[in-house]
Amino acid sequence: MKSVRGKLLLGFGAVIVIVTLLCALTLFNLSSVRRVVESTRFVNDRVFEIALAKSDVLVAVQMKNEEKLKQALSDLDKTAKDIKANLKSYSKRNREILEQAISEIETLINSVKSVDLEHFDEALYTSIISKAERINDVLRKVVENLDVLQVKQLRNANVQVYIWGIVAVVFALVITFITTQSLIKPVRKVMTLIDNISNGVLNIEIEKIKSRDEIGRMAQSVEKLRGILLDVLTTVNKATNDLSATSEELSATTQNVSADLNDLANSMNSISKEAEDNSASLEEITANIEEFASAADSNAKSAQDMLS
């Protein structure tokens, strides 16, 4: 990944995908529960329709109203057809129960069709009520089965939501940890390198960073700066050492020149002393010459006097 933003987007994207899958799973479970609820409502509606049709049949029989009886039987037949049309949406066990209910409804319809309203007796009345109650009992079994299935599916949905929720949280934490580590590790290495540079430690290279994002490029730049500073410091140290050696040589030369100057001064002192000694000797010789000249002059005068 070539950017920090890309890594963050990847981490958040993975978390969003997991949350989306969790929501999809929850919706799927809820849709299953909703189908069970709709199936239960359908059966309850049919139970209600059968109860109404039963009441209409009983009223029609009591009132000896053939039109009302036909309408009630038509309603029962419609209820049976509705149940038959929706058999595929139920489990095998419930389909068998519903098929039994359809058979009971058809039996009730056939038995009522053959009723002679003019010769209706109490036994037939009781038989109609009994058959209608038996149909309701059969349908209530389906309702009970659907209630059990609904509770089971709700429980399974809750368990799955909890499990997948925990998995999503764990996965999100793992993704977050991996993403943060991929960002923190290079930053720590760069911080270590910067601390070393600030403390004057330039001979320790940074650990290799494979990241190609902004942090990785920053680490490479700081490492390059460390190398440049190390080269500069090495050059300065070398120049300092060379200057120190030159200074030592210059100091030795200065000492030699000083010694030579001292020797020259001593020689000059000796020459000066000898010159002074020579000057004294010349003065003495000059005095002797002058004295000798004076004596010569005196002798010359004496000789002249003697000649005169």
Residue 135 · residue 105 · CB < 8 Å: yes
Question: Which pLDDT value is given to residue 48?
Answer: 86
Residue 203's φ and ψ, nearest 5 degrees, are: -95, 10
Write out pLDDT tens, residues 176-234: 787 777 777 777 777 777 787 777 776 776 666 666 666 677 777 777 777 787 788 78
Q: Give tens-digit pLDDT for 73-92.
A: 898 889 889 989 988 888 88
- Give the Å distances, CA to CA, from 160 to 156, 165, 175: 6, 8, 22
* Distance of alpha carbon 117 from alpha carbon 69, whole angstroms: 10
- Whether 105 and 50 have beta carbons less than 8 Å apart is answered as yes
User: Does the global pTM surpass 0.85?
Assistant: no
Residue identified by tokens 């010359």 is: 300
Q: What per-residue confidence (pLDDT) applies to 306?
A: 66
Instruction: Work out the percent of the chain whose per-residue pLDDT is above 70.
Output: 83
Give per-residue pLDDT as tens, 154-168. Answer: 888 788 778 877 887
What's the whole-number mean pLDDT along residues 112-128? 73
Locate the domains of the chain by residue range.
Answer: 4-185, 202-308
Backbone angles phi, psi at 120, to 5 degrees: -85, 135
Q: Within 13 Å, how many C-alpha atoms sit on residue 95's CB side? A: 9
Handedness of CA 254, 258, 261, 267 (dihedral sign): negative
